């Protein structure tokens, strides 16, 4: 990793909320990514970027904010360019995740009731991401006007 990459990950760590995101590779394909800070286990307390493989998550990057240490896992399909797409508009990337997978973009639970599906965020997570319902409504209106 270059010093520029390290600075970028410091920015990602500060600017990208913990949650789940989708980056469009083309009109039909997405890469699904999450940023998390585990409370237990090997990566406890570290900022972890992971990609979704079916029902599992693979680790892409681990950033230790206190030491500045950054690790990249070689099996990662998530490039710095994909992360830049997500960080540039993380709210729309979160909305894309929820829309494509019908899961809350903050915590990953399946969106089961009509209100949660309309808001694109679960009933508990809406307290933390209050911007999501308005963004979802604007996106629906844009889609309907086409």
CA triple 97-100-50, angle to 5 deg: 40
**What are the tens digits of pLDDT across the range 126-143?**
999 999 999 999 999 998
Give the distance, in angstroms, between the CA of residue 121 and the centroid of all CA atoms in the same chain: 13
**What are the tens digits of pLDDT across the range 33-87?**
999 999 999 899 899 999 988 788 888 888 887 677 788 776 666 788 888 889 9
Most confident of 5-14, 24-33, 116-125: 116-125
Under 8 Å between Cβ of 17 and 97 = no
CB-based burial label for 138 (10 Å; 0-12, 13-18, 19+)? exposed
pLDDT above 70 coverage of the chain, percent: 96
| Structure tokens, 94 | 């979160």
Can you tell me whether residue 32 is helix, strand or coil? Answer: strand
- The pLDDT score that the predictor gives to residue 74 is 62
Residue 1 clears pLDDT 70, i.e. is over it: no
């Amino acid at each position: 990793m270059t010093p520029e990459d390290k600075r970028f990950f410091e920015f990602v760590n500060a600017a990208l909320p913990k949650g789940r995101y989708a980056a469009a590779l083309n009109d039909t394909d997405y890469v699904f990514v999450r940023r998390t800070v585990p409370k237990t286990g090997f990566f406890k307390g570290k900022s972890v970027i992971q990609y979704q493989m079916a029902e599992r998550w693979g680790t892409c990057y681990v950033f230790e904010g206190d030491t500045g240490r950054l690790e990249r896992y070689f099996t990662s399909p998530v490039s710095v360019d994909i992360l830049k797409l997500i960080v540039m508009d993380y709210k729309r990337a979160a909305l894309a995740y929820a829309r494509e997978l019908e899961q809350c973009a903050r915590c990953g639970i399946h969106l089961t009731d009509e209100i949660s599906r309309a808001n694109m965020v679960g009933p508990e997570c809406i307290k933390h991401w209050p911007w999501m319902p308005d963004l979802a409504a604007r996106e629906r209106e844009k889609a309907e006007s086409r």
